[in-house]
Amino acid sequence: MVPRSRKPEELLPTGAPLTLVDADGRAVPSAGLAMPGDEALLALHRKMVLARRFDTQATALTRQGRLAVYPSARGQEAGEVGAVLALRPQDWLFPTYRDTMAVVCRGADPVEVLSLLRGDWHCGYDPYEYRVAPQCTPLATNTLHAVGVAHAAKLKGEDAVALVMLGDGATSEGDTHAALNFAAVWQAPVVFFVQNNGYAISVPLSKQTAAPSLAHKGVGYGVPGMLVDGNDAAAVYAAVRRAVASGAEGGGPTLIEALTYRIEAHTNADDATRYRDQAEVEGWLARDPLARIRKHLIARGLLDEPAVAALEAEAEAEAAALRQRINTGIAHDPADLFRHVYAEQTPDLRWQQQELSAELAAAADDPEVAR
Partner 1 sequence: MTAIAERSPGPPVTAPEVTMATALNQALADALTEDETVLVFGEDVGPLGGVFRVTDGLAARFGDTRVFDTPLAESGIVGTAIGMAMNGLRPVVEMQFDAFAYPAFEQITSHLAKLRNRTRGRVALPVVIRIPYGGGIGGVEHHCDSSEAYYAHTAGLRVVTPATPGDAYMLLRQAIECPDPVIFLEPKRRYWSKQATVLDHAGTNPKTLDRAIVRRPGSDVTLIAYGGTLGTALEAADAAEEEGRSLEVIDLRSLSPFDDETVTASVRRTGRAIVVHEASRFCGYGAEVAARLSEQCFHYLEAPVLRVAGFDIPYPPPHLEEYHLPSVDRILDAVDRLQWQETSPAVRAGG
Q: Which residues are catalytic?
A: 262, 266, 275
| The residue type at 43 | A
348 near partner 1, judged by CB under 8 A:
yes
| Among candidate residues 161, 108, 153, 159, the one with its CA nearest the CA of residue 135 | 108
82-121 footprint of partner 1 as x/- string (CB under 8 A): ---------------------------------------x
Helix (H) or strand (E) holding 163: strand 162-167
132 near partner 1, judged by CB under 8 A:
no
The interface with partner 1 within residues 177-196 (CB under 8 A) comprises 177-179, 181-182, 185
Give min distance, CB of 178 to partner 1, in A: 4
Tell me the three state secondary structure of residue 80: helix
Asked whether 89 and 304 are in contact (CB, 8 A), the reply is: no
| Among candidate residues 164, 123, 124, the one with its CA nearest the CA of residue 141 | 164
Stretch that binds partner 1, among 24-32, 149-157, 327-335, 361-369 (CB under 8 A): 149-157
The interface with partner 1 within residues 301-340 (CB under 8 A) comprises 336, 339-340
The alpha helices in the chain, defined as continuous H runs, are 8-11, 38-63, 77-85, 100-105, 110-113, 115-118, 127-130, 141-156, 174-186, 233-248, 278-285, 289-299, 305-327, 347-365, 367-370
141 near partner 1, judged by CB under 8 A:
yes
Stretch that binds partner 1, among 97-105, 153-161, 202-210, 363-371 (CB under 8 A): 153-161
- One residue of 341, 358, 361, 369 binding partner 1 per CB under 8 A: 341
Q: For partner 1, give the closer residue by CB, 199 or 221.
A: 221
Give min distance, CB of 91 to partner 1, in A: 12
Please tell me the distance from the alpha carbon of residue 138 to that of residue 200, in angstroms, as a whole number.
Answer: 13
CA–CA distance from 9 to each of 241, 273, 288 (Å)? Answer: 22, 41, 32
| The residue type at 213 | S
Q: For partner 1, give the closer residue by CB, 179 or 326.
A: 179
Give min distance, CB of 217 to partner 1, in A: 16
Please tell me the distance from the alpha carbon of residue 156 to that of residue 338, in angstroms, as a whole number.
Answer: 34
Give min distance, CB of 136 to partner 1, in A: 8
End-to-end CA distance of the chain: 70
Which DSSP string do the residues of 250-277 spell out, in sequence order? T---EEEEEE----S-SSTT--GGGTS-
Stretch that binds partner 1, among 39-47, 176-184, 235-243, 278-286 (CB under 8 A): 176-184
240 near partner 1, judged by CB under 8 A:
no
346 near partner 1, judged by CB under 8 A:
yes
155 near partner 1, judged by CB under 8 A:
yes
146 near partner 1, judged by CB under 8 A:
yes
- One residue of 57, 59, 62, 143 binding partner 1 per CB under 8 A: 143
Give min distance, CB of 85 to partner 1, in A: 23
Which DSSP string do the residues of 198-225 spell out, in sequence order? SEETTEEGGGT--SS-SGGGGGGGT--E
Which letter does DSSP use for residue 18 in this model? B
CA–CA distance from 243 to each of 83, 226, 335 (Å)? Answer: 10, 9, 44
Q: For partner 1, give the closer residue by CB, 139 or 272.
A: 139
Give min distance, CB of 134 to partner 1, in A: 5
Give min distance, CB of 179 to partner 1, in A: 7
CA 133 to mean position of chain CA atoms:
11
# residues near partner 1 by CB under 8 A: 41
133 near partner 1, judged by CB under 8 A:
yes
Around Cβ 275, how many Cβ atoms within 10 Å? 14
| The residue type at 45 | H
Tell me the three state secondary structure of residue 191: strand
Q: For partner 1, give the closer residue by CB, 6 or 177.
A: 177
Give min distance, CB of 60 to partner 1, in A: 26
- Give residues in contact with partner 1 (CB under 8 A): 121-123, 126-128, 133-134, 138, 141, 143-153, 155-156, 162, 174-175, 177-179, 181-182, 185, 336, 339-343, 346-348
